[in-house]
C-alpha cells in the first residue's frame, strides 16, 4: 500500500490553519484523542528533540508511549511512533484508509494533508491503547490541528523566534500569541528561554489561565571529577538535580534536554512513576535524525542539519565554531524562509558556499541567494550554484582544500530528507 498514493488527493490543500475540519473529522472517528493523556509541544526550534527525549524516557520507564512529529525526513512512518518504533507502512495505510472513509464524499471543506495525518496519529494511539502521547505542534499552536484537547498533562513551549510570519503574524509578539494558544486553564506549562517581547506575551497568558509554570534555564556541564566513569567520551550535564549523558550535539541541547527533564519532574509530581535510571537511560538512548548529525558521503565526512531559520542556523554555527575550521556550506532554502537571517547566522569570511535547489518544494532562486550571500559576506572564498544536490556535493568536495574545511549540508529539513533518501547516502553515526 503506497502512502503517497493514499495521501495524494490531500497534498494540494497545503497549510490551512483552523480547528473546525479536524474536530469534525475526529468526531466522525469517535474522538480518539480523548482516550489518552498528552504532552503537547510547541516552539520555533527544539520541538523534535524535546519530543524525542520525552518519548525515550517514558518508554524506558515502562509506559506505552505514542509520539507524533512532523515533517518526516525519509518516510511518512517516521511521524507516528509507538515506543520509539515507527508505525509500519501497512498499518499506516490501514489507518489512513479508515480516516479517509470518515470524510464525506463531495466534502465542501475537506481536511488538509496535515489534518489527515494528525487524525491518523490520534486514531492509531487510541487503537494501541497508549498510556501517554507526546504530540508536536505542526505550525503555530492556537489553530494547529494538534490543538484539540481541553486538558493536557503538560504544555511545552521550547523557544520562540521569527518564523512563519506569513501565517502567524509579523511580530514576535504575534507569533508568541499563536504559540501560547496551546496553553490550557490550570494545566502545567514548561517554557524554555524566550526573548523579552515573546516572554511578556506568554507570561500574560500563563497568568490569565492560572497555569503552574516552570521557566527553564539551561543545563550545565558537570565539572571533571564529577562525571561517571563509563570508559567512553560522553558529555555529562546536570539540570534540576538530575545528572545525565547528553547524546545530541550542539549547545542548544543544554536547553532542550533541560526542558525534557523539567517536564519529567512535573509528571513525577503528578504521580507518574519515572525512576532516575529510566531518565538516565532514556536520555542516553535518544536519537534525532538529521539534526547536527555526522555522516559520510562517498568517503567524505559530512555534517547534516536542517537549519531552516535564523535561530537554528545560529545553533548550527555555534557548534561549527567549536570545531575551529572554515566551512564548505552546501545549502538549499525554501522561498518562504528568512534567507538573510540564515546567511547572517552562518556565513563567515573564508567559507565556501554551494547553492542547490530543494527538490519538490518552493525553493528560493539560486541567483537571488547567491547575490544575497555575497552582499552579506563579501569575503566568501567561493560562491557556486549547482542544478541538483549530488552535483553540488561532488563539486564541493572536488575543490582544492575541500578536506581542510568542514562540509555542512543545511538550509532545509526537506533538503536533508532528500539527501537521506537518495542512493548517495552511505550511513551516519546515528547520534543526533
Rounded average pLDDT over 336-354? 94
Rounded alpha-carbon distances, angstroms, from residue 138 to 18, 199, 317: 12, 21, 25
pLDDT digit string (tens) for 186-198?
999 999 999 999 9
Place of cell 518516510: 75
Beta strands in 251-391 (DSSP E): 293-297, 300-304, 327-331, 352-355, 382-385
Angle between helices 366-376 and 339-346 (to 10 degrees): 50
Can you say whether residue 190 is alpha, beta or left, with left for phi > 0 and alpha for psi between -120 and 50 degrees? beta
Mind giving me the DSSP string for 166-225? HHH-SSHHHHHHHHGGG--TT--EEE----HHHHHHHHHHHHHHT--EEE----EEPPTT
**Is 323 exposed, middle or buried, given 0-12, 13-18 or 19+ CB atoms closer than 10 A?**
exposed
Identify the pLDDT of residue 168: 57
Q: Is 418 exposed, middle or buried (0-12, 13-18, 19+ CB in 10 A)?
A: buried
Query: What is the C-alpha to C-alpha distance for residues 352 and 145, in angstroms, rounded to an integer?
Result: 40
Question: What is the Cα–Cα distance from 319 to 292, expressed in whole angstroms?
Answer: 8
Adjacent-strand bridge partners of 385:
355
Rounded CA gap, 279 and 412, in Å? Answer: 31
Give kind and range of the element (H or E) at residue 237. strand 236-239
411 pLDDT more than 80: yes
pLDDT-derived band at 15, boundaries 50, 70, 90: low
The pLDDT of residue 159 is above 50: yes
Q: How far apart are CA 96 and CA 227, in angstroms?
A: 47
How far from 344 is each of 274, 309, 314, 349, CA to CA, in Å?
Answer: 42, 11, 9, 11
Range among 171-175, 322-326, 383-387 with highest mean pLDDT value:
383-387
Mean pLDDT in the chain?
90
CA distances from 364 to 148, 358, 370 (A): 34, 8, 10
> Rounded mean pLDDT of 50-55?
98
Go through the domains of the chain in sequence order and give each one's CATH number. 1-283 (3.40.1190.10), 291-420 (3.90.190.20)
Per-residue pLDDT for 12 more than 70? no
Query: What are the pLDDT digits (tens) for 166-179?
Result: 555 568 888 899 99
Q: Where are the beta strands (DSSP E) in 24-162?
A: 38-42, 65-68, 80-82, 85-86, 132-136, 154-157
| pLDDT tens track for 250-259 | 999 999 999 9
Would you say residue 164 has pLDDT above 50?
A: no
Strand arrangement of the beta sheet that strand 80-82 belongs to: 85-86, 80-82, 65-68, 132-136, 38-42, 154-157, 189-191, 213-215
Q: What is the pTM of this model?
A: 0.88
Give the full edge-to-edge strand order of the sheet including 236-239: 220-221, 236-239, 242-245
Report the relative pairing of strands 80-82 and 85-86 from DSSP bridges. antiparallel
pLDDT in tens, 134-154: 999 998 899 999 999 989 999
- Which range (248-262, 346-360, 400-414) has the least confidence? 400-414
Q: What is the pLDDT of residues 225-251, one digit of tens each?
A: 666 655 456 789 999 999 999 999 999
Does residue 427 carry a pLDDT above 60? no
- The confidence score (pLDDT) of residue 429 equals 39
β-partners of residue 355 are: 331, 385
Read off the pLDDT of each residue in 122-141 and give the average, rounded to a whole number: 96
Amino acid at each position: 500500500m503506497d502512502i503517497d498514493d493514499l495521501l495524494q488527493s490531500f497534498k494540494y490543500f497545503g497549510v490551512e490553519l483552523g480547528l473546525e475540519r479536524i474536530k469534525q473529522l475526529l468526531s466522525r472517528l469517535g474522538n480518539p484523542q480523548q482516550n489518552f493523556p498528552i504532552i503537547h509541544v510547541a516552539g520555533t526550534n527544539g520541538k523534535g528533540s524535546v519530543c524525542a527525549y520525552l518519548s525515550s524516557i517514558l518508554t524506558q520507564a515502562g509506559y506505552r508511549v505514542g509520539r507524533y512529529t512532523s515533517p518526516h525526513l525519509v518516510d511518512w512512518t517516521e511521524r507516528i511512533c509507538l515506543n520509539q518504533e515507527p508505525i509500519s507502512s501497512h498499518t499506516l495505510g490501514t489507518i489512513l484508509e479508515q480516516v479517509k472513509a470518515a470524510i464525506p464524499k463531495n466534502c465542501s471543506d475537506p481536511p488538509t494533508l496535515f489534518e489527515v495525518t494528525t487524525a491518523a496519529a490520534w486514531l492509531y494511539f487510541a487503537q494501541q491503547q497508549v498510556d501517554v502521547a507526546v504530540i508536536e505542534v505542526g505550525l503555530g499552536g492556537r489553530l494547529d490541528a494538534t490543538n484539540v484537547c481541553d486538558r493536557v498533562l503538560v504544555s511545552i513551549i521550547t523557544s520562540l523566534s521569527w518564523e512563519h510570519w506569513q501565517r502567524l503574524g509579523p511580530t514576535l509578539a504575534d507569533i508568541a500569541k499563536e504559540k501560547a494558544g496551546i496553553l490550557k486553564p490550570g494545566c502545567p506549562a514548561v517554557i524554555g528561554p524566550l526573548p523579552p517581547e515573546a516572554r511578556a506575551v506568554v507570561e500574560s497568558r500563563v497568568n490569565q489561565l492560572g497555569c503552574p509554570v516552570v521557566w527553564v534555564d539551561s543545563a550545565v556541564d558537570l565539572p571533571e571529577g564529577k562525571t561517571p566513569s563509563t570508559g567512553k567520551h560522553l558529555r555529562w550535564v546536570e539540570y534540576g538535580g538530575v545528572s545525565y549523558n547528553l547524546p545530541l550535539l550542539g549547545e542548544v541541547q543544554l536547553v532542550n534536554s533541560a526542558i525534557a527533564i523539567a517536564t519529567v519532574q512535573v509528571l513525577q509530581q503528578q504521580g507518574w512513576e519515572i525512576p532516575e535510571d529510566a531518565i538516565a537511560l532514556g536520555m542516553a538512548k535518544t536519537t534525532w535524525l538529521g539534526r547536527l548529525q555526522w555522516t559520510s558521503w562517498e568517503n567524505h565526512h559530512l555534517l547534516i542539519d536542517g537549519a531552516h531559520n535564523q535561530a537554528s542556523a545560529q545553533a548550527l554555527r555555534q557548534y561549527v565554531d567549536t570545531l575551529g575550521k572554515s566551512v564548505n556550506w552546501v545549502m538549499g532554502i525554501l522561498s518562504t524562509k528568512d534567507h538573510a537571517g540564515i546567511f547572517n547566522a552562518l556565513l563567515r569570511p573564508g567559507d565556501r558556499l554551494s547553492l542547490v535547489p530543494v527538490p519538490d518544494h518552493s525553493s528560493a532562486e539560486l541567483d537571488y541567494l547567491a547575490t544575497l550571500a555575497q552582499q552579506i559576506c563579501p569575503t566568501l572564498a567561493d560562491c557556486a550554484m549547482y542544478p541538483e544536490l549530488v552535483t553540488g556535493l561532488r563539486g564541493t568536495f572536488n575543490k582544492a582544500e575541500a578536506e581542510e574545511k568542514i562540509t555542512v549540508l543545511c538550509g532545509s529539513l526537506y533538503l536533508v530528507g532528500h539527501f537521506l533518501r537518495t542512493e548517495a547516502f552511505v550511513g551516519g553515526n546515528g547520534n543526533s
